Structure 1
């Protein structure tokens, strides 16, 4: 793994024979900044700070730039510009007038379909484990291998390569949405859609549309999200009696995205109708697993539809109904950790709405123990913590204070 900014800084400072205090004085920064970077307490810094440190050491600023993925995962201030530079470079390569890339990269070994497929699966496993720092670190090589595979193949083999490239970009898009890097996520998902079109695989294409709908929902573009999901669902709609698990899952998942948009647009009856239709598809799917679930984030199942009904009740302002529905949830292996964690936030919010602050805090503590990296990125969690703090009549407990610090909330 690439060294961190602090590791680069410590190595170059020692080579220069400067102490931390001398470097801080020369650079015009606090010695605490130098110390925290070198000790790994901070893994990012403002570009102006890096420039000052580099100038004091007599090296280019780029000599200090290293792996700041952990900073993005921790939501450290000013982390994104540096921490995501490798992702940006992979998604938006720069070319000159001659069309040649400025920073050409050469793979250590020629990519193969099996190697890229394994890489996509591994990256998705890391993503679903909420290890965003590791996922950020893997993204540049994953995208480079996927693109190199497309360039190295032709015919049917290239169609398969395009499908894998789409899946790789879908993963990156979902990761960036979690990290609230909306514009960069749009770039990744747009490229995923382009690769899917070139693959000619409708299942892959439908899977690429799903994170675009999610992104539109994050931007409050409800009508566009619903229209995109409904139109794509109509294009890929299978015959229920003969559909494969992958086809059923692709179609049903889009109906869930459309329902999510409709309920946010205050059209609750339309959302319910879509979920009823999705439930029929999930019933037909039964216990058959979607073979592409791990690489497409598509966890369509009976439980998944039911979790969406809970979410719809929350958005409709019906916390009692949401909690009642939550009691009927039956766990299935198809549902991803992110979906189940998001559902638990709906449960916590419902408790808050009913003034059940201890129950809401208990749900958040459960999520803190199970998925702290995921919870840290959730604005929804910050809203819940703030609402609990505002609603309680006594001083904030130590547990609630810890939750507030984790999610970056200042009640």
Structure 2
């Protein structure tokens, strides 16, 4: 099984091709600051993975981008895909029971850099690239037995990607591993945040009552009392907001509105948009989820009213969240018969985050509905539909 693909080429083949006649294996290793043994084994095919840090070094030495070196992983087309299979195997791996010499350990100083990079790629919506990067990164993080927080983050980002790629069973396994690792980290805010992510997994699976209950329980454990740090408030507010979105999907409209109001109070107390534990929270996130709740409860006019209070057009939100917010607004306009406005918003979402859009069921659903209306069936929308796989 090959974890890194560029077209039909494994990672080692690509390294050998790029190295060409420019460098010997030893020269490339010295230029990149990696072992010659790693280069040799990659090119021979006896090693099929490398740490994110080593891949960055090899890419710089070969004067290519990381994306050009590893290429997009094979994503699940028609129920299969080698790249996503590797990611599924990675979250249920047994590498710790096999030969540890095949795992390239992550140096402690590289752990934070690796996780920062993986999360950055995730929030940019470039899931194709993560399919290639996460398997080896996760194996290396697992080898760092003294850092359960890093292991939790590794499983967490893997689970989030698997959710986006519609692999719910593997995503659930990954997030449960992340929760277990977070519980060992001694960081109650990380443990609470991971329970919020598990609540999201339950929501995606349609288990709305359990999702709300888990988010509420996690929030109760860290409920602010007295002086609380901004990260503590942010994590608490995010959990309450997650519970609100779950309640809306369970058609508990009043409960959803009450939870939204509570999260809004917390956001007002913080007074700014924050990003703690890879989770955005603040006035912008509350505005975004207020729109989501309005859409889920089919109160489309209220959803669009809520959108008007979004600070700075959502500039504080991660890229994927901004695109999702535009899509929610597009759906609200479409349901109100305002098809031109809906088309403009969904086109803007796809232009903003094209890699993200092609994996989103909601984007495809809104686009498909708009193609059925004469006034919004424009060449631009038809072209976008082709890019995201809507026929």
Distance 2:128 2:112 in 1: 21
SS at match of 2:227: coil
Cα gap change, 1:288/1:186 in structure 2, threshold over 3 Å: closer, same or farther?
closer
The C-alpha deviation readout for 1:78-124, integer Å capped at 9, x for no partner, is 543x12233233212247xxx932x655344x434331111101111
Aligned to 1:93: 93
Cα gap change, 1:338/1:395 in structure 2, threshold over 3 Å: closer, same or farther?
closer
Q: How far off is 1:395 after superposition?
A: 9.0
Aligned to 1:242: 227
Aligned to 1:208: 194
Distance 1:279 1:131 in 2: 30
Distance 2:206 2:173 in 1: 18
Residues 4 and 71 of structure 2 are in contact (CA less than 8 Å); yes or no, is this contact kept in structure 1?
Answer: no
Aligned to 2:251: 266
The C-alpha deviation readout for 1:187-245, integer Å capped at 9, x for no partner, is 11010000011112111111111221111111110000001000111011122x41112
For these two proteins, the number of residue pairs brought into alignment is: 334
Aligned to 1:106: 102
Aligned to 1:339: 321
Aligned to 1:176: 162
Which of residues 308, 326, 337 in structure 1 aligns to 2:289?
308
SS at match of 2:330: helix
* Structure 1 position 194 matched with structure 2 position 208: no
- Which entry has the higher C-alpha Rg, 1 or 2? 1
Cα gap change, 1:182/1:238 in structure 2, threshold over 3 Å: closer, same or farther?
same
- The correspondence of residues 257-406 of structure 1 with structure 2, limited to 5 A, is 257-287=242-272, 289-290=274-275, 293=276, 296-331=277-312, 334-390=316-372, 392-393=373-374, 396-406=377-387
Q: How far off is 1:268 after superposition?
A: 1.0
Distance 2:141 2:263 in 1: 33
Residues 69 and 84 of structure 1 are in contact (CA less than 8 Å); yes or no, is this contact kept in structure 2?
Answer: no
Aligned to 1:127: 122
SS at match of 1:71: coil
**Superposition TM-score, scaled by structure 1 size:** 0.75
Residues 178 and 194 of structure 2 are in contact (CA less than 8 Å); yes or no, is this contact kept in structure 1?
Answer: yes
Cα gap change, 1:281/1:135 in structure 2, threshold over 3 Å: closer, same or farther?
same
Q: How far off is 1:186 after superposition?
A: 0.6
Unaligned 5+ runs, structure 1: 12-62, 151-157
Cα gap change, 1:335/1:397 in structure 2, threshold over 3 Å: closer, same or farther?
closer
Unaligned 5+ runs, structure 2: 14-47, 49-69
The C-alpha deviation readout for 1:6-52, integer Å capped at 9, x for no partner, is 236xx8xxxxxxxxxxxxxxxxxxxxxxxxxxxxxxxxxxxxxxxxx
Q: How far off is 1:310 after superposition?
A: 1.1
Residues 5 and 74 of structure 2 are in contact (CA less than 8 Å); yes or no, is this contact kept in structure 1?
Answer: no
SS at match of 2:9: helix
Which of residues 139, 146, 155 in structure 2 aligns to 1:144?
139
Q: CA RMSD in A?
A: 2.6
Q: How far off is 1:174 after superposition?
A: 1.0
Q: How far off is 1:394 after superposition?
A: 6.3
SS at match of 2:374: coil
* Structure 1 position 71 matched with structure 2 position 74: yes
Cα gap change, 1:288/1:303 in structure 2, threshold over 3 Å: closer, same or farther?
closer
Distance 2:376 2:227 in 1: 60
Distance 1:354 1:85 in 2: 41
Distance 1:328 1:282 in 2: 13
Aligned to 1:41: none
**Superposition TM-score, scaled by structure 2 size:** 0.79
The C-alpha deviation readout for 1:36-78, integer Å capped at 9, x for no partner, is xxxxxxxxxxxxxxxxxxxxxxxxxxx9xxx784431xx6435
Distance 2:171 2:139 in 1: 17
Q: How far off is 1:288 after superposition?
A: 6.9
